[in-house]
Chains A and B, each alone.
Chain A
Amino acid sequence: MNSKPDIDIVIRYLEDPENVQHKKLLNDWIQQDPGNLDIFLDMKDMWHGDPLPAASAFDTQGQWQHLDAALDKVPAAPPATTRVVKMQGRYWWAAAAVILIAGTITWLGPGRYKTVTTAQNLDSLHLPDGSTVYLNAHTSIRYARSFGKDNRHIKIEKGEAFFDVTRNEALPFTVDAPDVEVRVLGTSFNVKAADAGVKVFVQSGKVSAAWKGTEKKVILTPGVEASLKHRGSDINTQVYSKNNNILAWKTRCLVFDDSPLAEVAAALSDFYNVQVNISNGQLADKKLLATFRNMPLDEVLDIMRKTLQINISHKNNLVDIY
């Protein structure tokens, strides 16, 4: 994957402008052709939703009429029953979205709490205070019906969730994870409650994470992840200077920037919910530079096979790299 950069580097750069590798490749690419700088400038403003004015060569009205006529010729979408049958291969994620609606259980009672649980799907919901929660698969959260009025208290019983919190100084937003409490004013962050412990990763703003009932806490800033191990009392923090795929479950995009194979294995294991073993120790030094955007696991493995020239087998939930 280290061949000459092509136009896709522009997207990679825009997705992650702080990435040093992307910056360098973008510069290399801009110098390949005098037209590339203009491509970049047009794409950058388009990406930010504020496109540059039309160049005179483009006949906007004429082209729209052309398209308008072509759209009328597109046959109407087939009825839902036949569409489900076709939803294979590259539309697997659309199927996932359908399950998303079917698989989320919102439980309204008895009593004062509202519980939201996901099965094999992702979900997102708006809370009464304007904050948004994104739920990973196999996740359960619970909050009081009075949420947003006298409290902003949410409990994550299991799984992983990303919180985008609306700022409200008067009413702190707290996340109650097993043994750990996370407190914020307004920010966005990820909480993962696994058997091994709780992990908190901050995307923006400031967050505090504390062992319940103790004074022991840590203030986290963007790019920092704290892990609080089950049955422990320590808080370990790790700083991520570059993309780390912690939020991949939400962005549906895995980015590897010269990442060692062990790290790749861990990320794949999390993302696809499979077990990944590297049985050949000599492969640990191999590094991967790739972006996988919402791709089926087998396609990802195939790309890895070819680019890293390694053997990979995939049976059921077990991936073996050798």
Chain B
Amino acid sequence: MLHLSNEEIVKGIRNRSKEVFEAVFKQFAPSMYNIAYRYVKDEDDANDMVQDVFLNLWKGAENLDERAPVNHYLARATVNTCLNRIKKEQRKEGYVKEQLVTASHADNTPSQLEHKELEAQYRSALEKLPEQCRRVFEMSRLKGLSPAEIAEQLNISINTVYAHLTTALKKLRVVLINKE
């Protein structure tokens, strides 16, 4: 991983340096994929959207503003792509509905065994979290409470709730990746 200042990154992108582009892609594309996936709920679409954002950045590289962090640009571009994708989807919804009914029977759920293993790994990772952090995470994921509700019940600020959830995701994702 390259360690570059924003100035160097913007310069690299403007000059269409593949090395800089690759570093930026590897650093931010996974998060962008996650965001896109949870929004459009389709893996292929989400992958396409991430590709689109970076392709557009490459095409208009010389227009990148050096004053703003490149991650801000990428976050905004991801959001805009999400909004545009949904508009498009709504428009073609009518045509696609029929196809969906037949396609959704395809079996792509993991096997029972894989699922159990994954769940065990997840549990043990969860148990290693600090207590308050785990509590917040469980209230969010198992009980389905909103951050505002959790903040109120535990008498902590909403920003603390966000921080706990972030810590939990960081640890859980690392554990799950390493076990893969």
Binding site for B on A (CB under 8 A): 6-8, 10-11, 14, 23, 27, 30-31, 34-47, 49, 51-58, 60, 63-64, 66-68, 70-71, 74, 77, 91, 93-94, 124
Contacts and interface: CB of A to CB of B under 8 A. Distances in A.
30 contacts: A23-B158, A30-B147, A31-B146, A35-B39, A38-B169, A41-B165, A41-B166, A43-B31, A43-B75, A46-B35, A46-B71, A46-B75, A51-B30, A51-B31, A52-B169, A54-B177, A55-B34, A56-B177, A58-B30, A58-B33, A60-B30, A63-B51, A68-B22, A70-B55, A71-B18, A71-B21, A71-B58, A74-B59, A94-B62, A124-B67
B91 interface: no
Interface string B124-160: 0000000000000000100010111000000000100
A14 B75 contact: yes
Given A46-B31, A70-B51, A6 B83 contact: yes
Q: Contact size class for B?
A: 35 or more
A70 B161 CA distance: 40
Contacts, number: 139
B162 A46 contact: no
B97 interface: no
A34 B144 contact: yes
Contact of A67 (B54, B74, B147): B54
Give the secondary structure class of B's interface: helix
Given A51-B28, A52-B173, A55-B30, 20 more contacts: A8-B83, A23-B158, A30-B147, A35-B38, A36-B38, A37-B146, A37-B147, A41-B166, A43-B78, A52-B30, A52-B166, A54-B31, A56-B173, A56-B177, A56-B180, A58-B30, A60-B30, A63-B50, A67-B51, A67-B54
A52 B169 CA distance: 7
Contacts of B177: 53-54, 56
Contact of B30 (A10, A23, A44, A54): A54
Nearest to B64: A94
Contacts of B166: 41, 44-45, 52
Contacts of A49: 69, 71
Contact of B62 (A14, A30, A77): A77
B39 A39 contact: yes
A52 B38 CA distance: 15
Contact of A11 (B29, B39, B79, B140): B79
B17 to A, nearest CB: 11
Contact of B34 (A42, A47, A94): A42
Interface in B50-86: 50-51, 54-55, 58-59, 62-63, 67, 69, 71-72, 74-76, 78-80, 82-83
Contacts of A42: 31, 34-35
A64 B180 CA distance: 20
